[in-house]
Amino acid sequence: MTQLALVIDLNVCVGCHACVTSCKEWNTSGWAGPLSDYHPYEGSPTGTFFNRVQTFEVGNFPHTETVHFPKSCLHCEEPPCVPVCPTGASYKRPDNGVVLVDYDKCIGCKYCAWACPYGARELDAQQRVMKKCTLCIDRITDTKLPERDRKPACVLACPTNARLFGDVHDPDSEVSIAIRERGGYQLMPEWGTKPANHYLPRQKTRMHIDPEELTRVDNPWRKEDLTPYTGEETLDDVAW
């Protein structure tokens, strides 16, 4: 069976959020929309997003690095959100493996959100239904589009090509080759959900930092190389 999925390269993701904004733009006006926002410019903004980028630092100063971690629905091969749905609104397409929500059946009970160990589902405050990444199903299945454009909006928008899209069950696909050759891994495989999305690990790098480089050269409180005042007139004493 075909299993469409994303492969995200953490080594080149720069956390620009182009994937987030392009996803929001495409889906809020498309098949899965609207993706409502409330109080976006106030102190406590809320809204529905299919894709979020989490940024955090690892390591101890001065040996730290910033990690940008995009996360959305992983389109699990054994999705726990599907069997818990009391109305059958959550389902997995047999032709391509994409996990979707039928809004006409969804009652917003949040059972699927509780069952998902990845926090990938959100309740849309406007429609009162559960929403999640669809892999832009209305785009990737649109035969009217050129084949090069039949990809999720986030993949097309990424400026560093950190997001790959394809069939992870096809051993010759771009995503399968990337997983195999670059050590791609699943998120939290111990849950037994078999996430279809994979991540490519960051490459380990080492940087030597001289202790003197940690001191600002232009620090005004530094005592070395200070020229003592001798009483001569300087440009600061001249009235122009």
What does pLDDT average to over the chain? 88
CB 98 within 8 A of CB 137: yes
Please give the domain boundaries of the chain with CATH numbers for all domains.
4-200 (3.30.70.20)
The whole-angstrom separation of Cα 77 and Cα 55 is 27
Q: What are phi and psi of 73, to 5 degrees?
A: -60, 135
pTM above 0.85, yes or no: no
HEC string for 194-225: CCCCEEECCCCCCCCCCHHHHCCCCCCCCCCC
**121 pLDDT exceeds 70?**
yes
- Exposure b/e, 11-27, CB count within 10 A at least 16 = b: ebbebebbbbebbbebb
Q: What is the pLDDT of residues 147-170, one digit of tens each?
A: 999 999 999 999 999 999 999 999
The whole-angstrom separation of Cα 221 and Cα 104 is 67
For residue 136, count CB atoms less than 10 angstroms from its CB and return exposed for 0-12, middle for 13-18, buried for 19 or more: buried
- What is the band of 45 on the pLDDT scale with cuts at 50, 70, 90? confident
The reported pLDDT for the residue numbered 125 is: 87
**52 pLDDT exceeds 80?**
yes
The reported pLDDT for the residue numbered 103 is: 95
CB 49 within 8 A of CB 20: yes
Question: Is the preceding peptide bond at 62 cis, omega within 30 degrees of 0?
Answer: yes
**207 pLDDT exceeds 90?**
no
* Length of the chain measured in residues: 240
